[in-house]
Amino acid sequence: MITASNCVDLQLTHLAVLAVPQEGATSAAVELGGVILGAVVRDCALVAEAGIVAPGTERNYALTANLRITDNLLLCSQLGLSLEGMCLHYGELGLTGNLLLLCSQAGITATGGALPAASVTIADNVLQVTGNGIVAGTSGLRITDNEIVGVAARGKAATGITLAPGLDKGPINHAYVTANRLTGLAGDGIAVRKALGEAMIKSNVVDGVGGAGLMMADDASAAYLTIENNHFTDLGQNQNDQGQRYVGLQLLRAKRADVVGNLFAGVAGVANQNPLRAALLAVNAGELRVAANRMFGIGPAEFLGRTIAIAVDASFRKLTVESNSIARIAEASEKPSIAAWQAIVIAAFAVNTDSTGLSTTIQPLGAMLLPLKDNTFYLSGQRAILLDPARGVASVRGNNLNGQSPNRPLVEISSLLGCRFDQNDAELTGNDGLIGLIAADHIGAANNRLVGEGEAPTLQLVAKKAVVLGNLATGSIRVNAQTVPWDVLNVNI
């Protein structure tokens, strides 16, 4: 309807535009192309198949500088704001304060490229869409304070926020995804499908989604990633498939990452038949810290296969799991069945068994781990990587763990060089299994409180060298199948 190209100080304000669909072409209310310097689209009502598109049909590229699209109403059957393909931005690109409705493909798309010193801000928008919410892939990206509500659409697994490949083939650097609220989506809340440089995903609310709260898949990786203070509640609403694994938060190929202070409440509550459910799964992380997260209501009351709150593949260098609060159930009145529920699993996922003969095979979503004689291949749709064969060191300390009716160890750790297991408070009820099974070259187990059923063994260590000191436990502690004698250094309670 409105086509603008090679413009300076373009002002489109207080317009009402109805673009009638034409056979063989997508109707667009506003098309921008060529060089657009200092443009504003504000306070408009746009009804079309596509709301605002750049580049448009008359130009095969768009170069914008200080483009602001703000406070508009867009009722679009396919695309709301679409800035993709050969679309470059300089200075400020602001997509703020808009209301977007329907949008079966995507509400906001910004997968062009950002020139050096550019800032791309997608903020304060309200999206009630049947397709994807926000799809972006530029550096200097801020996605903040958006409200994204999924509108039911048959057969669509729409995602709230996607960090996707764009015009720039390098990693997305300095990306901030903060303070967004994502609800009712059939797919994932937040998805990362491209390499990240330094990035922050913080203070988001993801509630009632059919897929994961946060999913790294495909060619995703990160140089440094912070995932902090997010609320992930009622995840996996569409999951009950015996052929599909489920993960609430998947972290792949992060050189350094902190997962701190997040809430996981009600994860995979209806996924009874899935072979695996994991609230948090990390693979090929260099240095990883998982701390001060609160997890409860992890998995359904009855299920097949295996459910794990925190699962980390042993391909890391340094791992810290500390001060987390983890419980299988959300309310004390719940009575879950005896099943393979575990709070923490750290193991070489690609191998079939650990040193004690228990199966540890776990595969991430969108990738595959293939065991070799001395190390592991990581395979995705675009990558084949030989993982570092060096065994890492883990510190598991200060965690509060509550396991109800598990038939596998509450904590299972293997394939490590060293492990510190200390100051944990773990309680197991409903079954008389082990609380901890740890295998490493050297292990320090100290100052833990381990409460199991009756006098059943509570902790079993397999190590060349081990120190066991200052533990309070209801049952025996064994090192290489030998019971540690009770004395003033370890106390039976």
> Strands (DSSP E) along 299-357, which ranges?
306-313, 318-322, 325-327, 340-347
Q: How many domains does the chain have?
A: 2
Whether residue 224 is found in the same domain as residue 363: yes
Would the pLDDT of 352 be above 60? no
Whether residue 230 is found in the same domain as residue 243: yes
Enumerate the β-bridge partners of residue 428. 403
Whether residue 124 is found in the same domain as residue 224: no
Domain that holds residue 468: 188-493
Whether residue 323 is found in the same domain as residue 437: yes
1 falls in which pLDDT band (50, 70, 90)?
Answer: confident
What's the pLDDT tens digit per position in 447-487? 999 999 877 889 999 999 999 999 999 999 999 989 887 77
* Average pLDDT, integer, range 225-242: 94
118-132, 297-311, 417-431, 474-488: segment of lowest average pLDDT? 474-488
Domain boundary among 186, 204, 235: 186
CB 371 within 8 A of CB 363: no
% of the chain beyond a pLDDT of 70: 95
Write down the pTM of the prediction: 0.94
DSSP 3-state of 4: strand
In degrees and rounded to multiples of 5, residue 387 shows phi and psi of -75, 155
Would the pLDDT of 171 be above 90? yes
Whether residue 43 is found in the same domain as residue 182: yes
How do strand 263-267 and strand 231-235 relate by DSSP bridges? parallel
Whether residue 455 is found in the same domain as residue 376: yes
| CA-based nearest residue to 233, from 288, 292, 184, 179 | 184
DSSP 58-94: S-S-EEEEEEEEES-EEEEEEEEEEE-SSEEEEEEEE
Whether residue 366 is found in the same domain as residue 483: yes
Enumerate the β-bridge partners of residue 119. 92
Domain boundary among 134, 161, 186: 186
Whether residue 368 is found in the same domain as residue 291: yes
Whether residue 236 is found in the same domain as residue 320: yes
Whether residue 122 is found in the same domain as residue 192: no
Whether residue 317 is found in the same domain as residue 261: yes
DSSP state of 25: B
